[in-house]
Structure 1
Amino acid sequence: MMSFSTSLILASGSSARRMLLENAGLTVQARPVDLDEEALRRSCEAQGQTLSETAIALADAKANLATRDLGFEDLTVAADQILDLDGVAFAKPDSVAEAGEHLRRLRGRTHVLRTAVVLYKGGEKIWEHLASPRLTMRAFSEAFLEAYLEREGAAILSCVGAYRLEGPGIQLFSAVDGTQDAVLGLPLLPLLGELRRLKAIST
């Protein structure tokens, strides 16, 4: 009998991505990988790849690392996200001060989150998907920004764009055009659709 759930390997240490999968009823084994993401981004840029192509390349690299020594039938999910402000990519901030600078650059403007997800079976990619939610930051005051940085502190250093939309970061925005799961880093409905097509979960 086909199962409502399935077991996935998640090539990430992201608590948000794991939460999305587990809340959907899937069993997740997290397998964080040691990838020099900045070096790969620079390589993709040198090759003239778009930020969307780079996001997919990063997800691919994570999946390749995570699928080493796995069985042929193992399903592995990997994802990556690049913040695109008019063609300029933002990396995760290294400090709270740098987070503040990122937010000042994003303030009052619309950016795109190039969010890639790939599915591997064994060591072979069998599916990929790219979502591009658009987010508009409001023209928040310096006082608000300082209070926000003090409240969030180091928690935002693991976030592209220096915000957690599932937390106080939602107050930075005036509009979000895209699904919450894609903003959080894993477009869930397309992934579930592919798992149903593969008959990995019940149809």
Structure 2
Amino acid sequence: MIKKNPELVLASSSRYRRELLERLGIPFTAEASDIDETSREGETPVEACQRLAVEKAKWVAAKHPGACVIGSDQVADLDGVRLGKPHTRERSIEQLLAMQGHTIVFSTALAVIAPDGTVREKLSQTRVKMRPLTRETIEAYVDREEPYDCAGSAKIEKLGIALMETVESDDPTSLIGLPLMALTTLLTQSGVTVLPGLKA
């Protein structure tokens, strides 16, 4: 007999993360956290990403005792500079102009809080080499995709793939916002059955 899974909560309002988690076929709810996502003084982009994933999960877990809660955060690192969500057309163009011809490291942090309160973490990284691009090309892409809610303004799952020369990653879903291979491991370790008999 398969053990019933604990309540599963995704600590995010991101539609991309919801769509990715739906691939695992496990019932879940989604609830955004209410935390300050500003980087701290002296904090690297990766450190900020890892801290925020945990803080998001803890904020939501406090409202759902006994649940398994997933927190995640992503940052784009351009030579040590954190690139967040652009939010506007102008900022998106500015980001992509700075990125063109460079290699960007996208770090996606996971934090899973088990029903007993144990926190498990994993960091997935993707290296993206951007093509040399003209402003005209960048503006055409931004106007078609409006990638204002994506760190670094490039959506690999859509037309953003055309902006990229190469992609190297430890998880094909990491760049979209939720590394499902790593998440499967953390969920299994936290008592959630993804597939019967699956070992972490």
Letter in 2 for 1:185: G
TM superposition shift of 1:95: 1.2
TM superposition shift of 1:122: 4.3
| Matched-pair contact (CA < 8 Å) for 2:83–2:152 | yes
Distance 2:4 2:175 in 1: 25
Show the counterpart of 1:165.
156
Work out whether 1:96 is the aligned partner of 2:89.
yes
Cα gap change, 1:109 to 1:197, in 2 (>3 Å): same
- Point out where structure 1 has 5 or more consecutive residues left out of the alignment: none
TM superposition shift of 1:4: 9.6
Identity %: 32
Question: What secondary structure sits across from 1:52 in the alignment?
Answer: helix
Q: Which has the higher helix share?
A: 1
TM superposition shift of 1:149: 1.6
| Matched-pair contact (CA < 8 Å) for 1:163–1:169 | yes
TM superposition shift of 1:172: 0.6
Show the counterpart of 1:60.
54
Distance 1:125 1:191 in 2: 15
TM superposition shift of 1:197: 3.3
Task: Count matched residues.
Answer: 194
Distance 1:109 1:97 in 2: 20
Work out whether 1:11 is the aligned partner of 2:4.
no
Show the counterpart of 2:27.
27
TM superposition shift of 1:125: 4.1
Letter in 1 for 2:51: A
- Point out where structure 2 has 5 or more consecutive residues left out of the alignment: none
TM superposition shift of 1:198: 3.8
**TM-score, structure 1 length as denominator?**
0.88
| Matched-pair contact (CA < 8 Å) for 2:8–2:28 | yes
Show the counterpart of 2:185.
193
Cα gap change, 1:35 to 1:197, in 2 (>3 Å): closer
Show the counterpart of 1:69.
63
Show the counterpart of 2:105.
112
